[in-house]
Amino acid sequence: MSEVTRLLNAIQQGDACAGEKLLPFVYTELRQLAHAKMAREQPGQTLQATALVHEAWMRLGDQCFENRAHFFSAAAEAMRRILIEGARRKSAARHGGNAEHVDAAEVEIVIPVGKDDEVLAVHEALDALAARDPRKAELVKLRYFVGLTIEEAAEILGISAPTAKRDWAYARAWIYRAIMS
């Protein structure tokens, strides 16, 4: 049993000190995951990895978690929702919607359209995949929205790395087809 799982169990049993001990373990790992995800975001992203972790931590709140995998799955879902909400907020009509953005310093250079549309399209396709195959959808959340490697995601999901690779290949193809149709 990992230290994180042990602390999660202690929290469920009412140990108030366990929550304080858990924070350093998961915060460091969550921050690394968020940093990796944010490194792949478009330039000019206003959300920082630390803010993403803090927001996800706040959303996790007083939930009870069965084990490490359940905790990180919930954290991945929280991070995913935060990124989706940010993409929707940026795309809202009152924020300029899909208006073409122009760099103020060099008016003739247009900033390329960001990844917000991509994030929203993946989100919608992911919901459809989750209805069909929840494990593959969870793998996509961990890989795409949190930035885990195949091995890290496989460990959290409790499956082998080869199974995760097959699921990842299937899910990518399925989401691509859903987005293109």
Nearest residue to 177 via CA among 119, 121, 136: 121
What is the per-residue pLDDT for 35? Answer: 79
pTM of the model: 0.55
> In terms of residue numbers, what domain contains 114?
3-180
In DSSP terms, which residues pair with 110 in a beta bridge? 102
Nearest residue to 179 via CA among 134, 121, 138: 121
Report helix, strand or coil for 102: strand
Q: What is the number of domains present in the chain?
A: 1
Q: Would you state the structure tokens that stand for residue 29, as one six-digit string?
A: 């790992």
| Mean pLDDT estimate for the chain | 78
- Phi-psi group of 147: left, alpha or beta (phi > 0 → left; psi -120 to 50 → alpha; rest → beta): left
Residue 67 is given by DSSP the state S
C-alpha torsion sign, points 161, 165, 170, 171 = positive
**How sure is the predictor about 92, in pLDDT bands with cuts at 50, 70 and 90?**
low
Degrees to nearest 5, angle at CA 81 with 86 and 45: 35
**How sure is the predictor about 85, in pLDDT bands with cuts at 50, 70 and 90?**
confident
Residue 98 has pLDDT above 60, yes or no: no
Burial 141-152 (b: 16+ CB within 10 A, else e): bbbbbbbbebeb
Q: Tell me the per-residue pLDDT of 3-30, one tens digit each, with 9 for 90 and over.
A: 888 888 887 787 777 777 777 878 888 8
Other residues' Cβ atoms within 10 Å of the Cβ of residue 113? 12
Q: Tell me the per-residue pLDDT of 115-158, one tens digit each, with 9 for 90 and over.
A: 667 778 878 888 999 999 999 999 988 888 788 889 989 999 99
What is the per-residue pLDDT for 100? Answer: 59
**How sure is the predictor about 108, in pLDDT bands with cuts at 50, 70 and 90?**
very low
**How sure is the predictor about 104, in pLDDT bands with cuts at 50, 70 and 90?**
very low
